[in-house]
A = this chain, B = another copy of it.
Amino acid sequence: MSDATPIPIAGKPPESLVLGIVGLGLMGGALALALRRAFAEDEGRGRGGRRGGPRLLACDTDGHTLTAALDQGLIDEAFADPAPMLPRCDLVFLCLNPSTLLWFLETWMGAFKTGALLTDIAGIKGSVVAAVEKNLREDLDFIPGHPMAGSEKGGFANASHCDFRGKNYILTPLKRNRPENLAALKALIRRLGFGRITETTAAEHDRKIAFTSQLCHVIAAALIDCEEDLEITRFGGGSFEDLTRIAMLNAPMWTELFIENRAELLKRIERFEGSLDALKALIAGTNNRALEEKLALVRDRRTRMSLYPGPCD
């Protein structure tokens, strides 16, 4: 992917960009790390990229995080106040919880550089897209995104646990997005290691994510809620561990995601409950053959799911 000719953003090749990261949490930190690595690799291959690739600016409310990011060489400049940073950034990754993102856009809309490209990482897209379509400055471009590569261990300190390689990245482009910006952002995302970029609508994103992500977190939480034995892992063979790892969730963020996507999530919970009830009835009943047939169908469907779609766009 990184062998393709770089597509300019705001008229500049990626190596010459000033790139801003708003919020150095788990994902902001992981993006900084992946950016450094992506461009350091090019340098290592003698491709003549500017040392360190794009200039990385970051703002965060936590001073310790900013200091750590500077000390580790992940960013070039740190800002406690977005005011002096935003007017310099050609490309901005907004790495904030949904509610903070909406607040930030409202508060700082006037500060972004003319013609800048913005993108976000929020796990819910409907409310983000609505806010952007309503309030975005005419000269700015905003491509909503969702990198599907989190970790149950949150915060900047765990950014290195986020492995982007081969992961999904979902974009929900707006009609007004400039095609060259979309192409450039996709090229950059691939350069960070992501394996598959899917473009869809915000509504479709929120429907699908209610299932693949939010319902799974609700189930993991319910599994832990119904068992009090802290030594239960003595009886674990991997299934319990795999199903409940994500129960170590970031409670404030997931509360927001659940509430923001409440209608879709409740529908998904109810569909899941319907399937669980059907399985329960088969287990309670005397028709073992019917239970076995249902399990064989499930096995077949999951196996086919793991084959679709191809490795990357």
Binding site for B on A (CB under 8 A): 148-150, 167-168, 170, 196, 198, 205, 208-209, 211-213, 215-249, 251-252, 254-255, 258-259, 262, 265-266, 268-269, 271-276, 278-280, 283-284, 288, 291-299, 301-306, 308-309
Contact = CB atoms under 8 A, between A and B. Distances in A.
A240 B215 CA distance: 9
A275 B220 contact: no
Contact of A283 (B196, B229, B251, B259): B259
Given A208-B232, A227-B211, A291 B242 contact: no
A235 B276 contact: no
Nearest to A280: B269
Contacts of A299: 247-249, 251
A240 B309 CA distance: 15
A275 B222 contact: yes
B216 A275 contact: no
A233 B295 contact: no
A243 B223 CA distance: 12
Contacts of A230: 301, 304-305, 308
B283 A262 contact: yes
A220 B303 CA distance: 13
Contacts of A248: 299, 302-303, 306
A276 B222 contact: yes
A249 to B, nearest CB: 6
| Interchain residue pairs A-B with the least CB separation, the first 3 | A148-B237, A225-B275, A216-B239
Given A211-B227, A258-B291, A301-B224, A234 B280 contact: no
Contacts of A252: 292
25 contacts: A148-B235, A148-B237, A196-B234, A198-B234, A205-B235, A211-B232, A211-B235, A212-B239, A213-B239, A218-B280, A221-B298, A223-B272, A224-B305, A225-B279, A225-B298, A226-B271, A230-B305, A233-B308, A248-B306, A249-B299, A255-B292, A255-B295, A262-B283, A262-B284, A269-B280
